[in-house]
Amino acid sequence: MDFLERLSARLNKWTVWLAGSALVLMMLISVINIVLRIVARPFGGTTEMVGWLAALAASLALGYTQMNRGHVAIDLLVSRFSHRVRAVLDSLMSFITLALVVLATRQLALHAGNLWQRGSVSETMHIAYYPFTYVVAFGFACLVLALLVDGIKSLVEAVKK
């Protein structure tokens, strides 16, 4: 368990750094394009690049956000339960969410493979879609790892006396 927790923490800290870098790059591309629009002629494909970077920023930050309990949670009813019942519900929700995210990750990876086989490229810049889709799938896989760690920790709390 300790190994999984350390692996998840290290991996998700690395991916959130990449997500932040994508966010900064989005900002730079947008500002440079605005300045070029005023001074000269803006470059094409800005919308595509910002869209790809937004997908990377959002997906690569998922695991870190889960690790730090940064997602929205409404616990009005659950907060009234005992510690053990809350831990059981937390583990149950973590494992249900884990199953759904595993399915989403698998579908993203399959979709990326299909994009690669078909040779799909973007309309403006003619850049392949599949690398971005694989990175998004990787971000979801990091979320899977964080959910697994959370689920196991909650389960240990539930059975602990």
DSSP 97-148: HHHHHHHHHHHHHHHHHHHHHHT-B-TTT--BSHHHHHHHHHHHHHHHHHHH
The angle that helices 130-159 and 83-118 make with each other, rounded to 10 degrees, is 160
Q: How far is CA 106 from the centre of its chain?
A: 14
Single out the residue of 19, 111, 96, 107 nearest to residue 63, CA to CA: 19
What is the predicted pLDDT for the residue at 71? 78
Q: Is the pTM of this model over 0.85?
A: yes
Residue count of the chain: 161
What is the predicted pLDDT for the residue at 41? 87
Token pair in block for residue 102: 């595993």
In a structure prediction context, what are the per-residue pLDDT tens digits for the chain, which is 161 residues long?
789 999 999 999 999 999 999 999 999 999 999 999 999 888 888 999 999 999 999 999 999 999 998 877 777 777 788 888 888 888 999 999 999 999 999 999 999 999 999 999 988 899 999 999 999 999 999 999 999 999 999 999 888 86
| Cβ count within 10 A of residue 145 | 21
53 Cβ neighbours under 8 A, 6+ residues apart: 22, 23, 25, 26, 29
What is the predicted pLDDT for the residue at 152? 93
